[in-house]
Amino acid sequence: MNVIPFMRWRWVAVGFSAAAMLAAIVSLSINQLNWGLDFTGGTLVEVAYSDTADLGGIRSTLDREGYDGAIVVSFGTDRDVLVRLPDGYSDQQGAIMVDKLRSATDMDIELRRIEFVGPQVGDELRDDGGIAMLTALGLVMLYVAFRFQIKFALGAVIALAHDVIFTLGFFSLTGLEFDLTVLAALLAVVGYSLNDTIVVSDRIRENLRKVRRASPAEVIDISLTETLGRTLVTSLTTLLVLVALAVFGGEMIFGFAIALLVGVTVGTYSSIYVSATTLLQLDVSKDDVMVPEKEGADQEGLLP
């Protein structure tokens, strides 16, 4: 088997990741995220008109009725209309607005959904989401440090943070809505990327113990080459179903599917380059992964 010299190109990867992280953080601080209703609070109404909806007409109806700050967009098809009211309208306004829209047109209007989220809930969700993300990273780091070694744990967590920031940056740059399902997807990305990283780390550990007369960089190259087939196949099957979900799943889980598509793709990359490069920079070596009993046996042999 030809070993692919992954680590020779690691500075290119570091450059790419650094640039991506920088872009993501800059975009997050300037554009921030297009927070969905779950986080901002407010009212969202989706209605289906029996024929092509006249968005301009709807906007002027809402203007006339005094709905300041109402955002009207079509949703999926040209008959489906989504109206979003900012925080501050009462919980009754959604239903009242639908009645007003009904009386302003001859077409039949079918109510698809109304969502009202009070301001207190939104803030809480954002905090809880952040806490959950940090808890997940912390626990995972503990587990990996326990099962492997602290250097592997650092590698895994840096890779995870990389993936999460990358995906967040993607949502910030594209302006896609960040709602509760996207948050769930982000946590799933953490799970997935971790899965990948663990498989690679596992092989690196095994090869560090097994392969003699090779530098850590070579061992990592061998391990990455050996696991490459598996990494690509698993990512491919996961991406296949995610594409199915994005294409056929409908508008309500589109954001979820996109977040996972981006996350899984970057997770595959990061398990190859980010975690392995981190390991290399931390000077991972045979000594880090030796089984304790064997060390004891070695020492015994030194006795006269």
- CA neighbor of 285 nearest in space, from 209, 198, 226, 227: 209
Both ends of the chain: CA-CA distance in Å? 43
Residue 14 sits in the site that holds another protein (CB under 8 A): no
DSSP state of 148: S
Binder of another protein out of 29, 103, 120, 299 (CB under 8 A): 120
Contact segment (CB under 8 A) with another protein among 23-31, 51-59, 175-183, 295-303 equals 175-183
Q: How many residues bind another protein (CB under 8 A)?
A: 72
Hey, which residues between 54 and 83 contact another protein (CB under 8 A)?
Answer: none
Residue 188 sits in the site that holds another protein (CB under 8 A): yes
Three-class SS string for 241-280?
Answer: HHHHHHHHCCHHHHHHHHHHHHHHHHHHHHHHCHHHHHHH
3-state secondary structure at position 222: helix
Print the binding letters for residues 257-276 with another protein: x by CB under 8 A, - otherwise: x--x----------------
Hey, which residues between 136 and 155 contact another protein (CB under 8 A)?
Answer: 136, 139-140, 143-144, 147
Binder of another protein out of 203, 216, 221, 279 (CB under 8 A): 203
Torsions phi, psi for 9 (to 5 deg):
-95, 15
Residue 84, beta-bridge partner list? 44, 71
Considering beta carbons, is residue 65 or 283 the nearer one to another protein? 65
- Residue found by looking up tokens 């650092």 in the block: 154
Residue 218 sits in the site that holds another protein (CB under 8 A): no
Contact segment (CB under 8 A) with another protein among 12-20, 63-71, 104-112, 296-304 equals 104-112
Residue 5 sits in the site that holds another protein (CB under 8 A): no
Residue 116 sits in the site that holds another protein (CB under 8 A): yes
CB within 8 A of 65, min separation 6: which ones? 97, 100
Amino acid identity, position 203: R
The upper half-sphere exposure of residue 15, i.e. CA atoms within 13 Å in the direction of its Cβ, equals: 4
Residue 242 sits in the site that holds another protein (CB under 8 A): yes
Contact segment (CB under 8 A) with another protein among 52-60, 166-174, 224-232, 283-291 equals 224-232
Nearest distance, CB of residue 36 and another protein, angstroms: 13
Binder of another protein out of 50, 52, 135, 174 (CB under 8 A): 135
- Residue found by looking up tokens 């698809």 in the block: 112
